[in-house]
C-alpha cells in the first residue's frame, strides 16, 4: 500500500528512480521498509552498478529523499531514514551546450537518443546570451530557485566580449593631465 512507486506522482526523477529501486530490491521495497543502511546500500548500488552519471544518481537519490520526507510529513513513517545518510554530491562542472549553428545542423539530421537535457541547457545559455534576465529564465525553466538557474550563468566568451564592449571608453591621456 505504501510503496515508493506510489509516491512518484509528477516527479520525473522519482519515476525513473523507481526502476532502479525495483532492480536493487528485487521488487520488494516499501517506504516503511527503508532504513538508513538500506538507503546507503541503494546509493552505493547506483554509484557502482547502475552505469548512470553521478549527477543523475544525485537527482534520483534526491527524489527518494524527497519521497521519504513526504512520507514522514504525512505520517506514513515515523522517522525519515534519509536524515542520517549523506546524499550523493556532484562537484560543480562546466555546462556544455550547443551553439545556434549546432542546433541548426542537428535540426537537419535524424538523431536518436535523449537530447532533452542538452536542448534545455542550450535554451538556457542562448537565452542568457540574448539578454534574458536570469529570474525570467528561472521561471521559464520552472526552477524552484534562481540558484538552480545560475549554473547556466557562467560567462561564455560572447557574454565576456559584450560585457567588455559595454564599458565606457576612458581617455587615459585626459585623466593624466
Q: What is the dihedral of CA 9, 15, 17, 18, to 10 degrees?
A: 80
At residue 97, the pLDDT reads: 65
Separation of alpha carbons 134 and 128, rounded Å = 7
Residue 95 in domain: no
In a shared domain, residues 46 and 113: no
Q: What is the mean pLDDT of residues 67-79?
A: 88
Q: Are residues 8 and 36 in the same domain?
A: yes
Residue 20 · residue 41 · CB < 8 Å: no
Residues 105 and 59 in one domain: no
Please report where in the chains the cell 560585457 appears, as a residue.
Answer: 163
C-alpha cell recorded at residue 95:
555546462
Are residue 63 and residue 26 in the same domain, yes or no?
Answer: yes
* Whether residue 71 sits in one domain with residue 112: no
Per-residue model confidence (pLDDT) at position 177: 58
Q: Which of 73-77, 99-103, 113-117, 164-168 has the lowest mean pLDDT?
A: 113-117
Q: Does the pLDDT value for residue 32 go beyond 50?
A: yes
- Residue 94 in any domain: the answer is no
Q: Are residues 45 and 72 in the same domain?
A: yes
Residue 159 belongs to what domain range?
100-166
- The mean of the pLDDT values for the chain is 78
pLDDT in tens, 103-143: 666 666 655 555 667 777 888 888 888 888 889 988 888 88
> Do 52 and 113 sit in the same domain of this protein?
no
Q: Note the pLDDT of residue 44.
A: 92
Is residue 92 assigned to a domain? no
For residues 85 and 39, is the Cβ–Cβ distance under 8 A? yes
Tell whether 91 is covered by a domain. no
Q: Which of 59, 84, 109 is the last residue of a domain?
A: 84
- pLDDT confidence of residue 111: 56
Give φ, ψ of 10 to 5 degrees.
-95, 0
pLDDT at 17 (0 to 100): 83
Identify whether residues 76 and 105 lie together within a single domain: no
Residue 15 and residue 78 share a domain = yes
Q: For residue 4, name the pLDDT band (cuts at 50, 70, 90).
A: very low
Give the residue with greater pLDDT, 15 vs 66: 66
Q: Is there a domain that residue 32 lies in?
A: yes
Residue 93 maps to a domain = no
How many domains would you assign to the chain? 2
Answer yes or no: do 61 and 19 share one domain: yes
Amino acid at each position: 500500500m505504501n510503496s515508493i512507486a506510489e509516491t512518484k506522482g509528477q516527479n520525473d526523477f522519482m519515476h525513473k528512480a523507481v526502476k532502479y529501486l525495483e532492480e536493487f530490491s528485487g521488487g520488494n521495497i516499501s517506504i516503511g521498509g527503508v532504513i538508513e543502511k538500506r538507503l546507503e546500500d541503494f546509493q552505493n548500488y547506483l554509484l557502482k552498478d547502475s552505469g548512470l552519471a553521478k549527477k543523475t544518481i544525485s537527482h534520483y537519490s534526491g527524489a527518494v529523499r524527497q519521497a521519504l520526507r513526504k512520507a514522514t510529513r504525512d505520517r506514513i513513517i515515523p522517522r525519515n531514514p534519509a536524515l542520517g545518510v549523506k546524499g550523493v554530491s556532484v562537484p560543480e562542472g562546466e555546462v556544455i551546450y550547443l551553439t545556434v549553428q549546432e542546433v541548426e545542423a542537428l535540426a537537419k539530421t535524424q538523431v536518436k537518443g535523449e537530447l532533452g537535457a542538452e536542448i534545455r541547457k542550450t535554451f538556457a545559455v542562448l537565452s542568457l546570451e540574448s539578454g534574458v534576465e536570469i529570474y525570467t529564465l528561472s521561471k521559464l525553466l520552472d526552477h524552484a530557485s534562481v540558484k538552480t538557474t545560475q549554473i547556466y550563468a557562467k560567462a561564455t566568451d560572447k557574454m565576456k566580449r559584450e560585457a567588455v564592449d559595454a564599458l565606457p571608453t576612458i581617455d587615459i591621456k585626459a585623466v593624466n593631465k
